[in-house]
Chain A
Amino acid sequence: MTAPILTLRDVVVEFPALRGLKAMMAPRNARHVQALSGISLDVARGETLAIVGESGSGKTTLARAINGLLPLAGGEIWFNDMALHQRPDWHAIRRQMAMMFQDPVGSLSPRKTVRELVLEPFAIHGQDVGNPSQTAQRLLEDAGLNADFLNRYPHQLSGGQARRVGVARALALNPAMVLADEPTAGLDVSVQGEILNLLNGIKAEHGLTTIIITHNLNILRHIADRIAVMYLGRIVEIGPVTQIMEQPRHPYTAALMSANPEPDPTTRRARIILSGETPALTARPSGCEFHPRCPVARADCGSQIPELTKAGPRAVSCHYPISENT
Chain B
Amino acid sequence: MTDTLTVDGLTVHYATREGALQALRDVALDVPAGQIVGIVGESGCGKSTLINALLQLMPENARIAAGSVRLEGEELVGAAQRRLRDMRGRDISVVFQDPMTSLNPVLTIGRQMRDIQYREPCDRAEKLRRAAAMLGRVGLPDPQARLDAYPHELSGGQRQRVAIAMAVLMRPKLLIADEPTTALDATLEVQIIELLKELQREIGCAILFISHHLGVIAELCDRVVVMYAGEAVEEGPVADVFLHPSHPYTAKLIECDPGRMKTRAKLLPAIPGDLPDLTAPPEGCIFRDRCDKATDLCRTKPNPVAVNGTHWARCHYAAEYGA
Interface bits A189-224 vs B (CB < 8 Å: 1, else 0): 111111011000000000000000001011101100
Interface residues of B in 136-182 (CB under 8 A from A): 155-158
A274 and B187 contacting across the interface, CB-CB below 8 Å: yes
Contacts of B272 in A (CB 8 A): 194
Q: A194-B270, A264-B218 in contact; A188/B190 too (CB < 8 A)?
A: no
Cβ proximity bits B196-213 to A, threshold 8 Å, 1 near / 0 not: 000000000000000011
- Decide if A193 touches B258 in the complex (CB within 8 Å): yes
Whether A188 and B42, one on each chain, are in contact in the complex, defined by CB atoms closer than 8 angstroms, is yes
In B266-299, the 8 Å CB interface with A consists of 267-272, 274
Whether the pair B271, A263 counts as a contact (CB closer than 8 A) is no
A256 touches B186 (CB 8 A): yes
Q: In whole angstroms, what is the CA distance A222 to B259 when docked?
A: 10
A89 close to chain B: CB less than 8 A: no
**A261 vs B221: C-alpha distance in the bound complex, in angstroms?**
12
| Nearest-CB residue, chain A, relative to B275 | A158
Q: B-facing mask of A152-169, CB < 8 A → 1, else 0? A: 000000110000000000
On whether A189 and B156 interact (CB within 8 A), knowing A54-B187, A222-B258, the answer reads no
B186 near A54 with CB under 8 A, answer yes
Q: Which of A189, A262, A277 contacts B212 (CB 8 A)?
A: A189
Instruction: Tell me which residues across on chain B come within 8 A of A33, comparing CB atoms.
Output: none
Query: Within 8 Å CB of B239, what residues of A?
Result: 265-266
Shortest distance between the CB of B290 and any CB in chain A (Å)? 9
For B262, list chain A residues within 8 Å (CB). 221
How far in angstroms is the closest Cβ of chain A from B125?
30
Q: A219-B258, A261-B219 are contacts. A55–B253 as well, Cβ < 8 Å?
A: no
In the complex, the chain B residue whose C-beta lies closest to that of A189 is B256
**B185 interface contact, C-beta 8 A:** yes
Contacts of B214 in A (CB 8 A): 189, 263
Contact partner of A277 among B42, B158, B267, CB < 8 A? Answer: B158
A264 touches B260 (CB 8 A): yes
Interface string of A262-305 (1 = CB under 8 A from B): 11111000010110011010000000000000000000000000
Q: Report B-chain residues with C-beta under 8 Å of the C-beta of A219.
A: 258
Tell me the complex Cα distance, A193–B243, Å: 21
A90 to B190, CA, bound (A): 42
Chain B residues contacting A192 (CB-CB under 8 Å) are: 256, 258, 268, 270
| Residue in A260, A263, A266, A280 with the greatest tally of chain B CB atoms within 10 Å | A263
On whether the beta carbons of A196 and B259 are closer than 8 Å, the reply is no
CB distance from A243 to the nearest CB of B (A): 13
Q: Which residues of A contact B86 (CB under 8 A)?
A: none
- Measured CB to CB, the nearest residue on chain B to A191 is B270
Bound complex: CA A278 to CA B190 (Å): 15
**Which residue in chain A gives the minimum CB-CB distance to B261?**
A222
* B74 beta carbon closer than 8 Å to chain A: no
> What CA separation (Å) do A262 and B239 show in the bound complex?
12
Say which residue of A221, A255, A265 sits within 8 Å of B264 (CB atoms).
Answer: A221
B residues near A173, Cβ cutoff 8 Å: none
Q: Which of A190, A222, A264, A277 contacts B188 (CB 8 A)?
A: A277
In angstroms, Cα B186 to Cα A270, docked, is 15
Known: A54-B186, A265-B243. A260 touches B215 (CB 8 A): yes
Bound Cα distance from A189 to B251, whole angstroms: 13
Q: In the complex, how many angstroms separate the beta carbon of A229 from the nearest chain B beta carbon?
A: 12
Do residues A218 and B257 form an inter-chain contact, with CB atoms below 8 A? Answer: yes
B66 in contact (CB, < 8 A): no
- Closest CB in chain B relative to A33 CB, distance in Å: 16
A280–B153 alpha-carbon span in the complex (Å): 12
B221 shortest CB reach to chain A, Å? 9
- Report yes or no: A265 in contact with B242, Cβ–Cβ below 8 A: yes
B186 to chain A, nearest CB (A): 4
B194 close to A (CB within 8 Å): yes
B186 and A215 within 8 A (CB): yes
Partner of B271 from the list A159, A190, A222 (CB cut-off 8 Å) is A190
B211 and chain A: residue at smallest CB distance = A261
Contact A261 B190 (CB under 8 A): yes
A271–B257 CB distance below 8 A: no
Give the shortest distance, in Å, between B53 (CB) and chain A (any CB): 22
B259 touches A218 (CB 8 A): yes
Residue contact A190 to B213, C-beta cutoff 8 Å: no
| Docked CA distance A196–B158 (Å) | 33
Give min CB distance, A191 to chain B, whole Å.
Answer: 6
Contacts of B258 in A (CB 8 A): 192-193, 196, 218-219, 222
Tell me whether A217 and B186 are in contact in the complex, defined as CB-CB below 8 angstroms, given that A189-B212, A189-B257, A263-B218 are known contacts: yes
Given contacts A188-B42, A193-B269, A273-B194, are A264 and B242 in contact (CB under 8 A)? Answer: yes
Q: Which residue of A lies closest to B242 (CB)?
A: A265
Q: List 25 A-B contacts (CB under 8 A).
A: A54-B186, A158-B274, A188-B212, A189-B256, A193-B269, A193-B270, A196-B258, A215-B186, A217-B259, A221-B263, A222-B261, A222-B265, A256-B186, A256-B187, A260-B186, A260-B215, A261-B213, A261-B215, A262-B218, A262-B219, A265-B238, A273-B191, A277-B157, A278-B185, A280-B155
Binding site for A on B (CB under 8 A): 42-43, 155-158, 185-191, 193-194, 212-219, 238-239, 242-243, 252-254, 256-265, 267-272, 274
| 9 interchain residue pairs of minimum CB distance | A261-B215, A193-B268, A218-B259, A54-B185, A193-B270, A190-B271, A188-B42, A263-B214, A194-B270
Extra pairs beyond A189-B214, A197-B270, A277-B188 (10, CB < 8 Å): A55-B156, A188-B212, A190-B271, A192-B258, A260-B215, A261-B189, A262-B219, A263-B254, A263-B260, A280-B155
